[in-house]
């Protein structure tokens, strides 16, 4: 009995499924063991309110989240002018909104210095 030639086998390429599995396992390993953000160089304690200055102290400069100034019932440049006429030698308290950017607060300090206010204190929230 002759069955004829056996069918020719197609040569299949190398099976790459095990290699893909190894690559995914390595990827998962590196993602799990990598540090996404570098650690802090040292421990930082956020500020606490140790001041006994009352929140309603009239000698406090208020700064809104948009950078609007308020002092003694005045706002804007009028508040800065009133600060220039301030007679107290005590440090000026600055109560800034938590939404105020630090750069805005930093731009305010030279304006205060130009009007003769050299000593300021940032008033923070309660304990």
| Residue 41 pLDDT class (50, 70, 90 cuts) | low
Q: How far apart are CA 28 and CA 33, in angstroms?
A: 9
Please give the helix or strand (H or E) that residue 60 lies within, else none.
strand 60-63
Q: For residue 52, what are its two tokens?
A: 């006994």
Asked if 108 contacts 33 with a C-beta cutoff of 8 angstroms, the reply is no
pTM for the complete prediction? 0.53
Complete domains list, the chain, with CATH: 60-122 (3.30.420)
pLDDT of residue 24: 95
Choice between 82 and 28, residue whose per-residue pLDDT is larger: 28
The reported pLDDT for the residue numbered 127 is: 43
- Per-chain mean pLDDT for the chain: 78
pLDDT at position 44 is: 43
Average pLDDT over residues 45-59: 57
Q: How many angstroms separate the CA atoms of 52 and 36, rounded?
A: 42
Pair 95, 57: CB distance under 8 Å: no
Q: Which residue has the tokens 């400069």?
A: 61
């Amino acid at each position: 009995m002759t069955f004829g030639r056996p069918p020719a086998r197609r040569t299949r390429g190398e099976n790459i499924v095990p290699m893909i599995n190894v690559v995914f396992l390595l990827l998962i390993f590196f993602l799990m063991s990598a540090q996404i953000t570098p650690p802090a160089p040292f421990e930082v304690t956020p500020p606490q309110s140790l001041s006994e200055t009352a929140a309603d102290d009239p000698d406090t400069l208020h700064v809104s989240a948009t950078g609007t100034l308020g002092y003694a019932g005045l706002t804007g440049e009028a508040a800065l002018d009133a600060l220039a006429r301030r007679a107290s030698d005590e440090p000026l308290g600055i109560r800034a909104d938590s939404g105020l950017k630090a750069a805005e607060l930093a731009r305010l300090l030279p304006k205060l210095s130009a009007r003769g206010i050299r000593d300021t204190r940032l008033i923070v929230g309660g304990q």
